Amino acid sequence: MIVVKNLHKKFNSEIEVLRGVDQHIRPGEKVVIVGPSGSGKSTFLRCLNLLEQPTQGEIWFDGQLINAKNVDIDKVRARMGMVFQHFNLFSHKTVIQNITLAPIKLKLQSPEEAKENALQLLRRVGLEDKADAYPSQISGGQKQRIAIVRSLAMNPKVMLFDEPTSALDPEMVGEVLDVMKELADSGMTMVVVTHEMGFAREIATRVLFMDDGKILEEAPPKEFFSNPENPRLKEFLSKIL
C-alpha cells in the first residue's frame, strides 16, 4: 500500500534527519515505529503524506508515485488519515463541524450524509453527546478520539498516528488506545509512532526501531522485544522497559 524507497530528508541545516529509509507497508498491516527522541520518527511519518517534502527518494501510495511533479497531493492526502500528538482540532468549530468540514468542503458527502456519518462515528467512540461542544470544552482524551474520528470520516485507506497519547494525562491514554485497537481490529492499515510498548506488543504486526534517521531493526513484536539484535535497540529497550 505504501512503498518507501531510499528516503532522505534534510532541513535547512546540513544534517540529514532521514538517511535512507526503505519500507513496504502492506494493506492491513499495523506498523509501530519506536525510537529515541529526535531520531526522525515524526519526520518519516510526515513525509508519508508529504507534510514534509523528501529531499531524495520515492514514496508510492496505492501504486502512485506521490512525490512526483503534477501529483494532486490534496487528493492523496484525502485518502490518508493523520492523527497528531496535539490533536489539532479546529478550535473555532464544534466537534461535529470538525468532523464534517473536510468531507463537505471536498464534496465527498452531502451535508446531511456527512452529519449522519459523523454522528455514527461519534457513537462508535462513545462521544455522541459532545457533537455540539467546542474543543475547549472537552478533555484531552476526548479531543484525540474526535481527531481520530475526524480522519475516519474521510474513509482513509491508511491512518498515520504521531504519538497520539503523548500529550495526554495518564488516565486518558487508555480510552484513546482502545479506539485505536478497535480500529486495528476493523482491518485498518496503520502506521503508529508511539512510546506505548504495550500497544506495540498487542497490536503491531511489525515494529520498527528508528535511530539517527535509519531503520536499524524491524521484526514482529514478539521477536522485537524478546530478541533484539541491534545494540542500540537493546540499549533503548533496557531504558524504557
Partner 1 sequence: MSFIIRFINNFIDNFSDKFYQNIIAENRWQLIIKGLLITLEVTFFAVLLGIVIGFVVAIIRSTYETTVKPNLLFKIINFISKVYLTVIRGTPVIIQLLIVYFVIFASVDINKVVAAVIAFGINSGAYVAEIVRSGIMSVDKGQFEAGRSLGLNYFQTMITIVLPQALKNILPALGNEFIVLLKETSVSGYIALMDLTKAADTIRSRTYEAFFPLLTAAFIYLILVMILSAGVTRLERWLRKSDRR
CB of 170 to partner 1, least distance (A): 22
- Residue 42 interacting with Mg ion (CB under 5 A): yes
d(CA 196, CA 89): 23
The residues, any chain, with a CB within 8 Å of residue 154's CB and separated by 6 or more, are 78, 79, 81, 102, 103, 108
CB of 12 to ligand ATP, least distance (A): 6
Convert 46-65 to b/e letters by CB count within 10 Å (16 or more is b): bbbbbbbebeebebbbeeee
Read off φ and ψ for residue 159, nearest 5 degrees.
-120, 130
Reduced DSSP (H G I as helix, E B as strand, rest coil) percent helix, strand, coil of the chain, to 5: 40, 25, 35
- Residue 165 interacting with Mg ion (CB under 5 A): no
Among the residues of 5-63, which ranges form H helices? 41-48
CB of 231 to Mg ion, least distance (A): 23
CB of 35 to Mg ion, least distance (A): 9
Would you give the binding string for partner 1 spanning residues 62-81, x where CB under 8 A is met? ------------xx-xxxxx
Residues 99-118 that bind partner 1 (CB under 8 A): 101-102, 105-106
d(CA 178, CA 145): 10
Would you give the binding string for partner 1 spanning residues 134-173, x where CB under 8 A is met? x-xx---------x--xx--x-------------------
Residues 35-94 that bind ligand ATP (CB under 6 A): 35, 37-43
Place of cell 465527498: 108
Q: 35 or 140: whose CB is closer to ligand ATP?
A: 35
Residue 37 contacts which entry, partner 1, ligand ATP, Mg ion, none (Cβ below 5-8 A, type-dependent): ligand ATP
Helix (H/G/I), strand (E/B), else coil: 187: coil
Kindly indicate which of the ranges 32-40, 56-64, 196-204, 216-224 contains the residues binding ligand ATP, using the contact rule CB under 6 A: 32-40
Asked if residues 41 and 33 have their Cβ atoms less than 8 Å apart, the reply is yes
Would you give the binding string for partner 1 spanning residues 10-49, x where CB under 8 A is met? ---------------------------------------x
Give me the sign of the Cα torsion angle 15, 20, 24, 30: negative
Asked if residues 66 and 50 have their Cβ atoms less than 8 Å apart, the reply is yes
Binding site residues, partner 1, CB under 8 A: 49, 51, 53, 74-75, 77-82, 84, 86, 88-92, 101-102, 105-106, 134, 136-137, 147, 150-151, 154
Binding site residues, ligand ATP, CB under 6 A: 11, 17, 35, 37-43
Binding site residues, Mg ion, CB under 5 A: 42
